[in-house]
């Protein structure tokens, strides 16, 4: 069976708890219907409703819930015969799973894919009573919660699983569900939870042994070192203290008896006491943190007294000194070179995690990159353990471990003996294979811009040759904000494409596509009264966007993540868009007292005919919750496409652009219908009504009226047709006038300092 020989038309999901309902929701996000079964249909329906209400949301849009049908095990089990794939996601109990499967196997089709979402129970124990035919189609598919947001899917074949089934599921999960697939062995807790549990247990052990508070520990083990903001204790609250305790104890007593580090998995006494008191974390309302008082202030647990206190704001001088250092490796090297409490904590943590991770090869995985990917994709770590070891210095860390009395794994000793200097080389294109004792090529899950030829660059953007006749304009400023560097490279990209390429893509591989215009430059120029400079910058951005729209060869934008303000305007002017599924797109300029002036108002007038809706979208600074929501708001069109897998976004955008290039004709320049005086009056009335209701401030109304003037095309009679340049001039004039208002300047300054809007 080839990777695409099988078709998944419908899935059956067993268990409507948080995990099962969210798995069904994510299949719906991919456009695939599912049957969600639980003890009865009411419980299954409740699971669907919870997936709609939960934050972060399980569905892309509320309409996606229509693709999930609720059913009961007794009344609807026979309907599994209509499902091409049956996924079990019931409670983590071997007895329960076996009981469910004993019924499911009689109802499911003989050729259906069968999989369990277990996070730690060995597959061979679940499938012990299966027939040989059922074991052939059975495997583990371990989604991480929430499936919509966490990229990882661990695929675990059983001893008898048909390799073609494994190949198909891996392809389907990556291409249709957008997952980062990591193949795993049928070992305790597979890869991510095995390493992740060890990481968390080690951090908690250090905190308890060395007297770090809950707040200190989470401050050290959060975004400061490239981990999620939840840190350690907050993450344990999210997981559930009882769940984490069960998994750890199960590892110690049952599933990993030969692990020399297994005592690390035993539940600490303080956690046992909290479990006894039913302080289980978020689900019980309190754990290491809780909300207190009418204002729901965050309180933290004192690990010595067992009393709660207002969570302290933690500050370490060494952390403050490097907080703005973008290079994570440099930041961490600086920490470890220090002598303070941060350095002491991190060294003990990294030392043990590095040795443990290397010692688990080949037990849990044959390849180091699979462990790194599992931790990045499943736990949102910026770097996996081997990538992190390289970033800190392979030789230096190995020597320090030995000086500290630690024992290096034989694999690492052999590397040093052979003179190998890192786990990865050639910018991550090769990894060191412990078994073969040589570097092997590392296949990337998608096109990586850093591995492509640079045609031209400046400090804020580059032109990248994607191959096959496609050129890419890549932004690489902080937050990919837009200024003269980016505008120049768009212009250069259009010129280069016209001469030497078939199509152009606007894309990057930062954290977000673009946070919009460089607000600091605008603020500084406005403070100095440099109105001509602002006017020239806005004009040039407008004309660059127009040039993209009418380029002789197609331009495809590939937005993802935050695509705000000017970043949104670039996407609006591309011939087509290949958007990442998680694209948060919006014209948000009103939040800083401005209006869109790069052609955003003009382009939205061509897409949204209802004046009130358009005014509310831009005037309310609405941002899409995903790419499909961006389509409903008008930021994407029916012709634009969506990529589920972020690793494949640029590949898809490139192919889309080259597909368009085969018979491309630039769009004609057509006049745009505007509402004129009547539309202007209607929008002004709407703004006044919101102000009277206390929803917006007086100055919000000033900004809204400027926006209304542009969207109506000015005080023209009737519903006239106007040119694009006419509307661009209105945008620019309104933008400049608002830049001259002290209240707008105050809003810009406040946002730059705090990251939050000012309601003045």
Beta-strand pair 583-586/672-673: unpaired
The 10s digit of each residue's pLDDT in 336-349 is: 999 999 999 999 99
Cβ atoms 485, 515 nearer than 8 A: no
Q: Among candidates 129, 174, 127, which has minimal Cα distance to 155?
A: 174
- Which tens digit of pLDDT belongs to each residue from 223-248? 999 999 999 999 999 999 999 999 99
Instruction: Provide the sign of the torsion angle of the four alpha carbons 213, 215, 216, 218, taken in this order.
Output: positive
pLDDT in tens, 562-593: 999 999 999 999 999 999 999 999 999 999 99
Q: Are 271 and 245 in contact (CB under 8 A)?
A: yes
Tell how many helices (H) and how many strands (E) occur in the chain.
Answer: 31, 25
Which residues are CB-contacts of 561 (< 8 A; sequence separation ≥ 6)?
A: 511, 512, 513, 580, 582, 583, 584
3-state DSSP assignment of residue 448: coil
Locus of tokens 């069904």: 24
Res. 56 pLDDT band, cuts 50 70 90: confident
**Cα four-point dihedral sign 354, 357, 362, 368:** negative
CATH number of 192-441: 1.10.1040.50
Residue boundaries of the structural domains of the chain: 11-183, 192-441, 449-588+623-667, 673-754
Instruction: State the helix-helix crossing angle for 676-692 and 611-619, rounded to 10 degrees.
Output: 50
DSSP string of 49-118, one letter each residue? HHHHHSSS-SSSSGGGGGGEEEEEHHHHGGGGGG-SEEEE---S-HHHHHHHHHHHHHHS-TT-EEEE--
Neighbours of 383 (CB within 10 A): 20
Chain mean position to CA 711: 34
Does the predicted TM-score (pTM) go above 0.85? yes
What b/e string do you get for 644-662 counting C-beta neighbours within 10 Å, with b at 16 or more?
bbbbbbbbbbbbbbbebbe
State the burial class of residue 214 (Cβ atoms within 10 Å of its Cβ: 0-12, 13-18, 19+).
buried
In the block, tokens 């061979």 appear at 124
Output the six-digit token pair for 303: 């690990």
How confident is residue 4, by pLDDT bands cut at 50, 70 and 90?
A: low
Ranges of H-type helices in 404-474: 410-417
Q: Which two tokens stand for residue 151?
A: 């990229």
- Identify the CA nearest to 598 among candidates 631, 563, 556: 563
Q: Are strands 289-292 and 297-301 parallel, antiparallel or unpaired?
A: antiparallel
For every residue of 231-282, DSSP letters joined together read: TTHHHHHHH-HHHHHHHHHHIIIII-TT-TTGGGGSPPHHHHHHHHTT--BG
List the structure tokens of 205.
Answer: 């052990």
Given its phi and psi angles, is residue 11 left (phi above 0), alpha (psi -120 to 50 degrees) or beta? beta
For residue 642, which phi and psi values (nearest 5 degrees)? -125, 135
The secondary structure of the chain in percent helix, strand, coil, rounded to multiples of 5, reads: 50, 15, 35
CATH label, 11-183, candidates 3.90.1570.10, 3.40.1710.10, 3.40.190.10, 3.40.50.720? 3.40.50.720
How big is the CA angle at 171 (ends 61 and 387), to the nearest 5 degrees? 90
> What confidence score (pLDDT) does residue 321 get?
85
Residues 8-54: tens digit of each pLDDT? 999 999 999 989 999 999 999 999 999 999 999 999 999 999 999 98
State whether residue 667 is helix, strand or coil. coil
Q: Kindly report, residue by residue over 303-362, the tens digit of the pLDDT.
A: 999 999 999 999 899 888 887 888 999 999 999 999 999 999 999 999 999 999 999 999
SS (H, E, C) 45-67: HHHHHHHHHCCCCCCCCHHHHHH
Consecutive H or E run containing 463: strand 461-467
- Give the span between the Cα atoms of 330 and 393, in whole angstroms: 10
**Computed over its alpha carbons, how large is the radius of gyration of the chain?**
28
In Å, how far are 119, 489, 653 from 649, measured between CA atoms?
A: 29, 21, 6
CA atoms of 8 and 381, how far apart (whole Å): 32
Strand partners of residue 157 = 139
687-724 exposure pattern, b = at least 16 Cβ within 10 A, e = fewer = beebbeeeebeebbbbbbbbbbbbbbbbebeeeeebeb
d(CA 338, CA 344): 8
pLDDT in tens, 741-753: 999 999 999 999 9
Please report the pLDDT score of residue 295 as a whole number: 87
Residue 1 banded pLDDT, cuts 50, 70, 90: very low
Strands (E), 338-429: 424-425
DSSP state letter for 307: -
Phi and psi at residue 628, to the nearest 5°: -65, -35
pLDDT digits (tens, 9 = 90+) for 694-714: 999 999 999 999 999 999 999
Residue 579 β-bridge partners: 642
> Cα separation of 419 and 427, whole Å?
19
**What is the mean predicted confidence (pLDDT) over 614-634?**
97
Architecture of domain 449-588+623-667: Alpha-Beta Complex (3.90)
Alpha carbons 693 and 176: distance in angstroms, whole number: 46
**Mean pLDDT, rounded, for 593-622:** 96
Inter-residue contact 564 to 623 (CB < 8 Å):
yes
First to last CA, the chain: 63
Examine the pLDDT at 458 and tell me if it is beyond 70. Answer: yes
| Domains 11-183 and 449-588+623-667 are alike in CATH topology | no
Paired strand residues for 182: 154
């Amino acid at each position: 069976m080839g990777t695409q020989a099988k078709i998944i038309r419908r899935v059956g999901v067993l268990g409507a708890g948080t995990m099962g309902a969210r798995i069904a929701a994510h299949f719906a996000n991919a456009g695939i219907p599912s049957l969600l079964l639980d003890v009865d249909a009411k419980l299954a329906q409740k699971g669907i409703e919870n997936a709609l209400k939960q934050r972060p949301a399980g569905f892309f849009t509320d309409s996606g819930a229509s693709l999930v049908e609720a059913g009961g095990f007794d009344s609807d089990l026979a309907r599994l015969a209509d499902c091409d794939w049956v996924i079990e996601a019931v409670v983590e109990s071997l007895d329960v799973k076996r009981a469910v499967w004993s019924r499911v196997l009689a109802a499911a089709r003989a050729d259906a894919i069968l999989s369990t979402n277990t996070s730690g129970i060995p597959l061979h124990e679940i499938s012990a009573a299966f027939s040989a035919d059922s074991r052939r189609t059975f495997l583990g598919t371990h989604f991480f919660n929430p499936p919509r947001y966490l990229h990882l899917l661990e695929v675990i074949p059983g001893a008898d699983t048909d390799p073609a089934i494994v190949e198909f599921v891996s392809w389907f999960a990556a291409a249709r569900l957008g997952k980062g697939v990591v193949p795993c062995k049928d070992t305790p807790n597979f890869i991510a939870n095995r390493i992740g549990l060890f990481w968390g247990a080690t951090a908690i052990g250090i905190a308890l042994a060395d007297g770090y508070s809950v707040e200190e520990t989470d401050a050290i083990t959060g975004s400061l070192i490239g981990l999620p903001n939840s840190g350690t204790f907050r993450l344990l609250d999210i997981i559930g203290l009882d769940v984490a305790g069960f998994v750890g104890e199960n590892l110690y007593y049952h599933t990993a008896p030969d692990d020399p580090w297994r005592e690390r998995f035993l539940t600490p006494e303080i956690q046992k006491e909290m479990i006894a008191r039913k302080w289980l974390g978020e689900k019980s309302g309190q754990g290491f943190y809780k909300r207190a008082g009418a204002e729901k202030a965050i309180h933290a647990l004192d690990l010595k007294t067992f009393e709660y206190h207002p969570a302290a704001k933690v500050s370490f001088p060494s952390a403050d000194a490097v907080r703005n250092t973008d290079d994570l490796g440099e930041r961490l090297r600086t920490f470890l070179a220090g002598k303070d409490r941060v350095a002491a904590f991190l060294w003990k943590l990294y030392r043990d995690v590095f040795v443990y991770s290397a010692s688990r090869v080949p037990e849990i995985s044959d390849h180091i990159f699979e462990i790194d990917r599992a931790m990045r994709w499943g736990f949102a770590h910026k770097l996996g353990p081997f990538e992190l070891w390289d970033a800190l210095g392979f030789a230096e860390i190995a020597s320090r471990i030995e000086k500290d009395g630690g024992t290096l794994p034989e694999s690492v000793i052999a590397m040093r003996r052979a003179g190998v200097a890192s786990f990865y080389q050639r910018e991550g294109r090769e990894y060191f294979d412990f078994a073969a004792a040589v570097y092997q090529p590392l296949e990337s899950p998608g096109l990586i811009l850093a591995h492509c030829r640079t045609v031209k660059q400046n400090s804020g953007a580059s032109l990248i040759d994607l191959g096959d006749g496609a050129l890419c304009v890549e932004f690489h400023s902080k937050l990919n904000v837009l200024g003269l560097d980016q505008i120049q490279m768009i212009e250069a990209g259009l010129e280069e494409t016209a001469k030497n390429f078939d199509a152009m893509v606007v894309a990057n591989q930062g954290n977000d596509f673009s946070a919009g215009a460089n607000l600091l430059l605008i603020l500084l120029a406005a403070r100095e009264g440099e109105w001509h400079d602002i006017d020239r910058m806005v004009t040039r951005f407008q004309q660059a966007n127009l040039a993209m729209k009418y380029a002789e060869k197609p331009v495809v934008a590939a937005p993802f993540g935050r695509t705000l303000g000017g970043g949104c305007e670039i996407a609006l002017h591309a011939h087509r868009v290949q958007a990442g599924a998680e694209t948060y797109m919006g014209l948000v300029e009103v939040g800083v007292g401005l209006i869109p002036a790069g052609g955003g108002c003009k382009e939205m007038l061509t897409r949204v005919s209802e004046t009130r809706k358009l005014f509310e979208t831009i005037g309310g600074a609405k941002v899409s919750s995903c790419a499909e929501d961006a389509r409903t708001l008008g930021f994407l069109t029916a012709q634009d496409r969506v990529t589920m897998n972020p690793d494949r976004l640029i590949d898809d955008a490139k192919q889309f652009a080259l597909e368009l290039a085969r018979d491309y004709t630039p769009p004609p320049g057509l006049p745009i219908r505007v509402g004129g005086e009547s539309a202007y009056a209607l929008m002004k009335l709407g703004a006044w009504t919101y102000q009277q209701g206390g929803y917006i401030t007086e100055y919000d109304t000033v900004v809204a009226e400027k926006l209304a003037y542009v969207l109506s095309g000015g005080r023209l009679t009737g519903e006239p047709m106007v040119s694009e340049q006419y509307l661009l001039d209105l945008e620019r004039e309104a933008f400049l006038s608002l830049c001259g208002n002290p209240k707008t300047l105050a809003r810009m300054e406040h946002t730059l300092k705090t990251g939050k809007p000012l309601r003045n």
